[in-house]
Amino acid sequence: MATTQQDRFNINTQSDHVAAKYVGTGHADTNRFEWALNIKRDTYASIVANHSLAAHQSIGEYESIGRITYQMKQSMLVPCGTAPKALMGDNDEDDNTNQDHREGGARDQ
C-alpha cells in the first residue's frame, strides 16, 4: 500500500504532537546524557508518586518508605551527575591545544 504525501504529513504532525506533549520522548537532537536524564527523572517521579512502587523499592533496599521517597526526591535533582564538558560548551582549552599543534609551536603555560 503506497503512502501519500498527506499520510506522511499526518504522521509527522502526530509525532510532533507527542514530542510536545511528553517532554521525555526526545527528538533528533537529544543526546545520550539528556535521554538518560529524562529516563531517570521519570522513573524516580513514578516511584515517588506511586505508593506501591515505593513500598516495593523499600522492601528491596530494606529501608522505610519515607527514606526511599526522600532519596528519590534528592536523586531527581542531579540523577546522572554533571553534564559532560562537550555538552556544556567548555571546549576552549581543546581549541587552543589544536591551534598550537597546527602552528607547530608549544603552548605557553
What pLDDT is stored for residue 65 in this prediction? 95
What pLDDT is stored for residue 83 in this prediction? 80
Task: Report residues of the chain scoring pLDDT below 50.
Answer: 94-95, 97-98, 100-102, 109
Cell numbers describing residue 86 = 562537550
What pLDDT is stored for residue 2 in this prediction? 61
What pLDDT is stored for residue 24 in this prediction? 63
What pLDDT is stored for residue 68 in this prediction? 94
Say if residue 72 is exposed, middle or buried (CB neighbours under 10 Å; 0-12, 13-18, 19+): buried
Q: Give the 3-state secondary structure of 50-75.
A: CHHHHHHHHHHHCCCHHHHHHHHHHH
- Separation between Cα atoms, residue 69 and residue 50, nearest integer Å: 10
Within 10 A of 80 (CB to CB), how many other CB atoms are there? Answer: 17
